[in-house]
Amino acid sequence: MKLVRYGEPGRERPALLDAAGVLRDLSGIVPDIAGAALLPEGLAAIRAADPASLPKVEGSPRIGACIGGVGKFICVGLNYSDHAAESGMAIPDEPVLFMKPPNCIVGPYDNVEIPRGSQKTDWEVELGIVIGKTAKYVSVENAYDHVAGYCVINDVSERHFQLERGGQWDKGKGCDTFGPIGPWLVTTDEITDPHVLDMWLEVDGKRYQNGSTRTMIFNVPFIVSYISKFMSLQPGDIISTGTPPGVGLGQKPPVYLTAGQTMRLSIAGLGEQQQTTVAAA
């Protein structure tokens, strides 16, 4: 299934995308694509509904982030060997973890703000894992049982804030609008293997990232199991799993975003995003 949230920010409604590409409202089945709706029984209730019997969403509403009420937005850094090389950093022995605050989350077509004082705002197309069942000390073998599905994430980053302002990476990762998510949550039954997905990102029509999840260092079940040893994961938590090479930091010379540009990005089977960059008010 492809699950969607549509409507104005803070007032999104749940929907699914049917086989014909039509949005069907799910408000009569679940209150939101969040929390209990992502449990196995919640997804089963959605799956049991006949899409043709659900109300059609009229017009062209705004598409919001595909997950609501996110508790934790956890990211894995340097998880692609070729991206680590372009960044001049060693391949990690264990996953590098950092957090993005949930308030950075926006829809897949919403504007991305260039923060005040920004010198090096950058892009990163990433595979997102959406947790569907509480995970605490889970094994690698059982990790998939705790995954509801996958989505596209643009892990927007300000490299000057991240790497040159002292302290942790979070300063350059959590600015408002730095977490476009969606357009869809694609449930695991539609993605046979999340480690063979092509992914790309363009800025103003120029393709900078053109990679694949095949080059991930730590795979999906390992990541879920690993993180669950340090913190419990709840339904609706999101894990962003790292980016392939081609980020602005890795260009020679580096290239960074300015206001008035357009980013387009996609992962095979998970849909496409597009954002315009604007100066922060």
Model-level pTM?
0.96
CA separation, residue 141 to residues 138, 169, 220, 251 (Å): 8, 31, 11, 38
**Does the pLDDT value for residue 163 go beyond 90?**
no
**What is the reported pLDDT for 92?**
85
**Mean of the per-residue pLDDT values for the chain?**
95
Domains with residue ranges and CATH for the chain: 2-53 (no CATH), 73-279 (3.90.850.10)
pLDDT at residue number 57? 98
212 backbone φψ class: left, alpha, beta (φ>0; ψ -120 to 50): beta
| pLDDT number for residue 83 | 74
Residue 90 has pLDDT above 90, yes or no: no
Q: What percent of the chain has pLDDT over 90?
A: 91
Q: What is the pLDDT of residue 17?
A: 98
What's the whole-number mean pLDDT along residues 224-242? 98
| Residue 212 clears pLDDT 90, i.e. is over it | yes
* pLDDT tier, 86 (very low <50, low <70, confident <90, very high otherwise): confident
210: tokens are 């053109």
Mean pLDDT of the 187-194 span: 97
Average pLDDT over every residue of 77-93: 80
Confidence of residue 85 (pLDDT cuts 50, 70, 90): confident
Residue 226 has pLDDT above 90, yes or no: yes
**Per-residue pLDDT tens for 37-50?**
999 999 999 999 99
d(Cα 98, Cα 227) in Å, to the nearest integer? 11
Residue range 156-165: mean pLDDT, rounded: 92
The pLDDT value recorded for residue 61 is 97
Q: How confident is the model at residue 264 (pLDDT cuts 50, 70, 90)?
A: very high
Predicted confidence at residue 169, as pLDDT, reads 81
Which residue from 89, 101, 36 is spatially nearest to 247, judged by alpha carbons? 89
What is the distance between the alpha carbons of residues 171 and 249, in angstroms, rounded to a whole number?
A: 17
- Mean pLDDT for 5-31 is 97
Whose CA is closest to 74, among 243, 244, 240, 231?
240
pLDDT of residue 89: 73
Percent of the chain with pLDDT over 70: 100
Radius of gyration of the chain (CA): 18
**Token pair for 60:** 């062209």
Adjacent-strand bridge partners of 267? 199, 271
CA distance 203 to 45: 40
Q: What is the mean pLDDT of residues 105-118?
A: 97
